[in-house]
């Protein structure tokens, strides 16, 4: 409605008349004009006519836009009118013809009254339940839990039925075979296995006693050998080192731990020269022990003391001379300058002279 009023204000004689006026003014502005009056007055009239032409054109454009909007509004109104008509027809189909609407209204009012009474009765019964009963969320959770338990029980029952069917099939299959004979055979095998277990237990007991006896014997032998060896090795170590002691491995009877100045070191972590010197001194101690037992054996050193410095190698020479008083020591070396201070009997090559 507002669009139509606006269109009437801008073009009271209609859109077509407004377009004709605009075209006429355009023609007048294009034709040559013969001036019979004052030029200034003509210019003023021309400016006024131009302004009115432009105003008319603007009004024509506004009116065109408003006509489009008005057309769209009319179309929407027609659509809404159609929809309302359809709804009215649907309502009339429900409530029936106008002659029977009074009776229908009374019937609906009666039904509404009865429904309200039923709602009130239900509310009266529900109110105590709301006060004393559990909340709905808790009831739903309990129901869901009960259903899950029932579902799990159903699945377990189905699984057990399948397992029962499988076991029944196995029983029927095995019932056709010699179950009694297999049981007797298994019983005999079990008895034989138990007898074998008893024999194994007896053998284990004997081996355990043997192991204990061997352990005790080895410990006694270790004490028998290691203590005299340590007694022979102590003075030799004193020639080379200050405040040093050696612990031997009880299984291999080889040097294992070296204690120097209160600190323990593994033999494997010592320098190559020190390990070589300890090896030579240990061999000298064992040789002295054998000699005292009446089983003398020569000590042969082949190109030994390779990693010893000058001071340490001279101390080793002193240890060799000390042990050579009671036993034979042979030293082979290609380093003549390093072993020049060894002393002893130097072996030389002599031409062979047949007897």
**Cα–Cα dist 75/63, whole Å:** 18
* pTM score, whole prediction: 0.36
> What value, to the nearest 5°, has the Cα angle with vertex 322 and ends 344 and 310?
70
**Cα–Cα dist 114/108, whole Å:** 10
Tokens describing residue 74: 């009319």
Question: Of the candidates 275, 227, 276, which has an alpha carbon nearest to the alpha carbon of residue 250?
Answer: 227
Instruction: Say if domain 226-332 classifies as CATH 3.30.420.40.
Output: no
pLDDT score at 326:
77
DSSP-assigned letter for residue 335: -
Q: Is residue 301 within 8 Å of residue 331, measured between CB atoms?
A: yes
pLDDT score at 261:
72
**Cα–Cα dist 239/218, whole Å:** 31
DSSP-assigned letter for residue 276: H
Question: Of the candidates 149, 118, 125, 147, which has an alpha carbon nearest to the alpha carbon of residue 133?
Answer: 125
Task: Tell me the pairing of strands 263-266 and 255-260.
Answer: antiparallel
Q: Collapsing DSSP states into helix, strand and coil, what is residue 245?
A: strand
Would you give per-residue pLDDT tens digits along the chain (355 residues)?
555 665 566 566 666 666 676 666 666 555 555 555 677 777 788 788 888 888 888 887 888 888 888 888 888 888 888 888 888 888 777 777 777 777 777 888 888 888 888 888 888 887 777 776 656 777 788 888 889 999 999 999 999 988 888 887 777 776 655 667 777 888 889 999 999 999 999 999 899 998 888 888 877 777 777 777 777 777 777 777 776 777 776 666 667 677 777 777 777 777 777 778 788 888 888 888 888 878 888 888 887 776 777 777 777 787 888 777 778 888 888 877 777 767 777 777 788 887 6
Question: Of the candidates 224, 271, 218, 227, which has an alpha carbon nearest to the alpha carbon of residue 246?
Answer: 227
Spans of all domains in the chain: 2-92, 226-332
Question: Of the candidates 11, 24, 6, 1, which has an alpha carbon nearest to the alpha carbon of residue 60?
Answer: 11
Chain length of the chain = 355
- H helices present in the chain, as ranges: 2-10, 15-30, 39-95, 101-132, 136-175, 179-240, 272-292, 310-323
Tokens describing residue 110: 């009666």
């Amino acid at each position: 409605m507002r669009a139509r009023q606006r269109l009437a204000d801008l073009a009271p004689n209609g859109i077509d008349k407004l377009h004709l006026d605009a075209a006429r003014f355009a023609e007048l502005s294009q034709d040559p004009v013969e001036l019979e009056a004052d030029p200034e007055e003509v210019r003023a009239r021309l400016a006024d006519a131009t302004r009115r032409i432009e105003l008319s054109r603007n009004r024509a454009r506004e009116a065109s836009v408003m006509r489009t909007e008005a057309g769209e509004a009319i179309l929407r109104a027609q659509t809404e009118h159609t929809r309302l008509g359809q709804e009215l027809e649907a309502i009339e189909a429900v409530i029936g013809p106008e002659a029977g609407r009074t009776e229908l209204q009374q019937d609906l009012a009666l039904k509404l009254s009865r429904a309200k009474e039923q709602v009130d009765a239900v509310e009266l019964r529900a109110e105590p339940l709301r006060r004393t009963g559990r909340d709905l969320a808790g009831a739903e959770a309990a129901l869901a839990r009960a259903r899950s338990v029932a579902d799990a029980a159903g699945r377990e029952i189905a699984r057990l039925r399948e397992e029962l069917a499988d076991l029944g099939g196995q029983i029927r299959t095995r019932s056709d075979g010699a179950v009694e004979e297999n049981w007797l055979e298994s019983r005999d095998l079990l008895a034989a296995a138990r007898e074998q277990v008893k024999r194994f237990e007896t053998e284990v007991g004997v081996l355990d006693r043997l192991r204990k006896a061997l352990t005790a014997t080895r410990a006694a032998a270790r004490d028998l050998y290691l203590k005299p060896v340590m007694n022979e090795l102590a003075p030799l170590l004193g020639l080379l080192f200050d405040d040093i002691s050696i612990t031997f491995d009880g299984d291999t009877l080889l040097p294992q731990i070296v204690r120097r100045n209160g600190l323990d070191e593994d033999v494997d972590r010592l320098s190559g020269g020190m390990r070589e010197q300890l090896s030579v001194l240990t061999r000298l101690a064992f040789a002295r022990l054998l000699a005292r037992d009446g089983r003398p054996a020569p000590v042969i050193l082949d190109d030994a003391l390779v990693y010893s410095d000058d001071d340490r190698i001279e101390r080793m020479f002193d240890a060799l001379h000390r042990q050579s008083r009671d036993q034979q020591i042979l030293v082979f070396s290609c380093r003549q300058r390093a072993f020049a201070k060894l002393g002893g009997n130097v072996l030389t090559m002599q031409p062979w002279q047949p007897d």
